[in-house]
Amino acid sequence: MKKITTHSLHITIILALSVGLALVFNMLRPDPLPMVYAQESQVQLDAQSGEISLKDATLLFVSQRAIFLDARDNYFYNQEHIQGAFSIPPDYFDYEFPKISDQLTDKILITYCDGELCQLSHELAEMLKGQGLDNVYILVNGWGLWKNENLPTTSGSTP
Amino acid sequence: MSNSHIHTTLALLAQLTRWALVTIFLAAALPKIFAPADFALSIANYKIVPHILINIIALTLPWLELVVAILLVCRFWAPAVFFLANTMLLIFLAALVSAYFRGLDIDCGCFSTAVTLTPNMQWYMIRDVFFLALGLGAACLDKHDPLA
């Protein structure tokens, strides 16, 4: 009986020592592992096509992981745009981009315009990539789809 | 064969199995200590452990393997250490068998956290049975170890 107690004590000490070492070593790591495992995101980003679906864009909008960039003309942006979206028509890229470039790093960027055949969002995406931003996705016919689902919008010249 | 020959052979076997166990646990612990995120993914792939425990296991299990290996080298608290070593080997084997019968074709995450394109579950299981036999052998032969 005494032997079993002694062995159990040794096992407990070994387990405690291992847990302690693991936690200390993890704290000292430059990229410590969080205590709770994060499941892979359900959002599917296809880097090859560079396009994003409305469902995924909405999920990123709600979780505030994405910044929406409106490629349409200023006139249409002022009338109504996706809530929080910045206005960057490709023709005014050189003027508008420096104003907001600080806010675009480490975020997923979603460009949109109006209509299936609208090329402005594609042009804007290429210009952003030209500035070294990799996380750029196009929501094809974004404005039409967004409005169709009654998702949050706002009007005026500010996001 | 004389008694002294038997004694010498058993002592040699005890040392050999103990050092083999040390090698196995060191080889298993070190890569995982330095890549806990990848090991967490390996654990998640087994679909056994609740999500809340995956990272905690990924952090602590390799250290337990390392501590067990070091204690085996010193032959310190041998019964407790052999018990822990064999319990770990048994759990690893059970996890592999469970994954195999659930049709999972995954990396075992035993000695490396790198992704294998063609994981061979049957080979992993045979290897773990061998390791467990080695561990049990080492525990049984321990009383013949010259350090005992």
Residue B27 placed within a domain: yes
- Looking at chain B, which residue has its C-alpha nearest residue A34? B55
pLDDT at B21: 95
Q: What is the pLDDT of residues A23-60, one digit of tens each?
A: 999 999 988 888 887 766 777 787 778 899 999 999 99
Residue B80 placed within a domain: yes
What's the Cα-to-Cα distance from B32 to each of A11, A25, B22, B116, rounded to whole Å? Answer: 22, 13, 16, 15
Residue B74 placed within a domain: yes
Residue B147 placed within a domain: no
Chain B partners within 8 Å of A18 (Cβ): 60, 63-64, 66-67
Q: Where are the alpha helices (DSSP H) in chain A?
A: 2-28, 54-62, 74-79, 93-104, 120-130, 142-148
Residue B105 placed within a domain: yes
pLDDT at B115: 60
Domain residue ranges of chain A, discontinuous segments joined by + = 1-38, 54-154
Please give the structure tokens belonging to residue B118.
Answer: 């063609």
Q: What residues pair up with A108 in beta bridges, in sequence order? A: A66
- Looking at chain A, which residue has its C-alpha nearest residue B40? A37
Q: What is the pLDDT of residues B85-103, one digit of tens each?
A: 999 999 999 999 999 888 8
Q: Are strands A108-112 and A66-70 parallel, antiparallel or unpaired?
A: parallel
Q: What is the pLDDT of residues B15-57, one digit of tens each?
A: 999 999 999 999 999 999 999 988 998 898 888 988 889 999 9
User: Candidates 1.20.120.80, 3.40.630.40, 3.40.50.300, 3.40.250.10; correct CATH number of A54-154?
Assistant: 3.40.250.10
Domain boundaries, position B93: 3-141
ipTM of predicted assembly, 2 dp: 0.89
Q: What is the pLDDT of residues A57-111, one digit of tens each?
A: 999 999 888 999 999 999 999 999 999 999 999 999 999 999 999 888 878 999 9
CB atoms within 10 A of CB B72: 24
3-state SS class at A153: strand
Residue B64 placed within a domain: yes
User: What domain count does chain B have?
Assistant: 1
- Cα of B43 to nearest chain A Cα, Å: 10
Inter-chain touch B79–A21, beta carbons under 8 Å:
no
Q: What is the pLDDT of residues A117-147, one digit of tens each?
A: 899 999 999 999 999 988 899 999 999 999 9
